Amino acid sequence: MDPAETAELYKRLGRARRVAVLTGAGVSAESGVPTFRGADGLWRKYRAEDLATPEAFRRDPKLVWEWYDWRRQLIARCQPNPAHQAIAFLERRSQDFLLITQNVDGLHRLAGSIRMVELHGNIWRVRCLEEGKTTENLDVPLQAIPPRCECGGLLRPDVVWFGEALPPEALQEAFDAAESCDVLLVVGTSAVVQPAASLPMVARQRGAYVVEVNLEPTPLTSLANESHHGKAAEILPRLLAFDSAFRNPHSAFEGPGGPCSP
State the catalytic residue, choosing from 108, 120, 228, 250.
Answer: 120
Q: Min. distance of Cβ 87 from ligand BJW in angstroms?
A: 12
d(CA 217, CA 116): 26
Q: Min. distance of Cβ 150 from ligand BJW in angstroms?
A: 25
SS3 assignment, position 203: helix
Q: Which is nearer to ligand BJW, 239 or 260 (CB)?
A: 239
Q: Which is nearer to ligand BJW, 14 or 175 (CB)?
A: 175
Q: Which is nearer to ligand BJW, 18 or 84 (CB)?
A: 84
* DSSP H stretches of helix in the chain: 3-15, 26-29, 42-45, 48-51, 54-59, 61-76, 82-93, 107-110, 168-180, 199-205, 232-239, 242-247
Using CB positions, name the residue nearest to ligand BJW. Answer: 26
Residues at the interface with ligand BJW (CB under 6 A):
24-26, 29-30, 35-38, 41, 52, 102, 104, 120, 159-165, 188-190, 192-195, 214-216, 218, 231-232
E strand or H helix at 154:
none
* 46 phi/psi in degrees, rounded to 5: -125, 150
The CA-atom distances, in angstroms, between 106 and each of 29, 118, 124, 144 are 13, 9, 8, 22
Q: Min. distance of Cβ 208 from ligand BJW in angstroms?
A: 19
What's the distance, Cα to Cα, between the start and end of the chain in Å?
29
d(CA 171, CA 168): 5
Q: Which is nearer to ligand BJW, 20 or 260 (CB)?
A: 20
DSSP 76: H
Q: Min. distance of Cβ 248 from ligand BJW in angstroms?
A: 26
Q: Which is nearer to ligand BJW, 34 or 257 (CB)?
A: 34
Residue 108 is among the residues annotated as catalytic for this protein: no
E strand or H helix at 139:
none
Active site residues: 120
